[in-house]
Amino acid sequence: MTSQPRIAVIGAGAWGIALACTLSQIAHVTLWTRTPVPDGTRTMPHLPQVTLPDNITVTSTLPSEADIVLLVVPTQGLRDTSLALQKRLKPDVPVVTCCKGMEQGTFMLPLDIIAQTMPGRPAAVLSGPNFAIEVAQGMPAAATLAASDLPFVTELTRRLTTPTLRLYASTDPLGVQLAGAAKNVIAIGAGISVGAEMGENARAAVITRALAETARLVNAMGGEGRTMYGLAGMGDLILTATGAGSRNYSLGVALGRGENVEDILAKRDTVAEGVLTAPTLKKLGQRFDIETPIINVITRLISGELTPHQARDELLDRPPCFE
């Protein structure tokens, strides 16, 4: 009988809890939380409606023994956490980044950060259309697991697929990461169109055209534009840009209703990665000479430079062009 793998989930936010729960079906799981909790704790603050299965061990000590490690911390905290973890893990233990966005100031995607902080370590990225609560409750879901090494990602996909979370392998980690970063920005734009009562036609146009912009950017940066039309791109975007449970979409709705971003964020204890990613994505478009008019307008809306109706007029006044 094959023994179950030991999987460490680093980060006890909602997504970390959800991944720990689904992986507990196939593995012994350690869930690391930055803030210590009392012994015997079976519910966590970020997903209190979920009771952790008995085979999940909660700890505030970074693990030194694991077969696979999932890094489920915000992108802006990934560098420090991975540096600390690198000192404890054996060099051949693979890590999977499960965060979306880009590091402020460096333009770096999660796997770029890992290449610096954990050099030589096998690494992959997990991304897809998943609300944490549904994954934690065992509802059916799917996601993409990407790494440039085909044999490695094929085997890792097999080892991490659970009875309720189906994983699909990809060899386009750049495209998967850009898709995950861009969808948060696009979701804010979709929310703004709804909050400003511009109608469903406007939301559909924002989603579709921003998706095309991002596909062009992925191609220009060396990835595969078609990745934007898979689970990590279109799939995640459909969920994030239409679901009321999306942090980025709901932030956009509030912006569209006239609230400013500082006031919205002050009321929250969760991260809306799209706010930090938008200006970086805009700069990448400029760097690679790719037109990203919708992403640019969303960035200016977030910063307060434009009102929703000014943004509408600016986009509609652009010269006609081919799709």
Catalytic residues: 183
Q: Is 236 annotated as a binding residue?
A: yes
Q: Is 100 annotated as a binding residue?
A: yes
Given a contact cutoff of 8 angstroms between Cβ atoms, the answer to whether 237 and 186 are in contact is: yes
E-strand stretches of 152-198? 165-170
Q: CA 80, CA 20: separation in Å to the nearest integer?
A: 22
Judge residue 319's burial from the number of C-beta atoms within 10 Å of its C-beta, 0-12 exposed, 13-18 middle, 19 or more buried: exposed
Given a contact cutoff of 8 angstroms between Cβ atoms, the answer to whether 56 and 47 are in contact is: no
Q: Is 248 annotated as a binding residue?
A: yes
Q: Is 282 annotated as a binding residue?
A: no
Q: Is 225 annotated as a binding residue?
A: no
Q: Is 73 annotated as a binding residue?
A: no
Q: Is 14 annotated as a binding residue?
A: yes
Q: Is 15 annotated as a binding residue?
A: yes
Q: Is 12 annotated as a binding residue?
A: yes
Q: Is 259 annotated as a binding residue?
A: no
94, 74, 83, 72: which is closest to 118 by C-alpha?
Answer: 83
- Sheet with 95-97, strands from edge to edge, namely 56-59, 28-32, 6-10, 68-71, 95-97, 123-127, 141-146, 165-170
Q: CA 5, CA 158: separation in Å to the nearest integer?
A: 12
Q: Is 247 annotated as a binding residue?
A: yes
Binding residue ranges: 11-16, 34, 100, 128, 132, 183, 236, 246-248, 271, 273
The binding site for substrate comprises: 100, 247-248
Which residues line the annotated binding site for sn-glycerol 3-phosphate?
A: 100, 128, 183, 236, 246-248
Annotated binding site for NADPH: 15, 34, 100, 132, 247, 271, 273
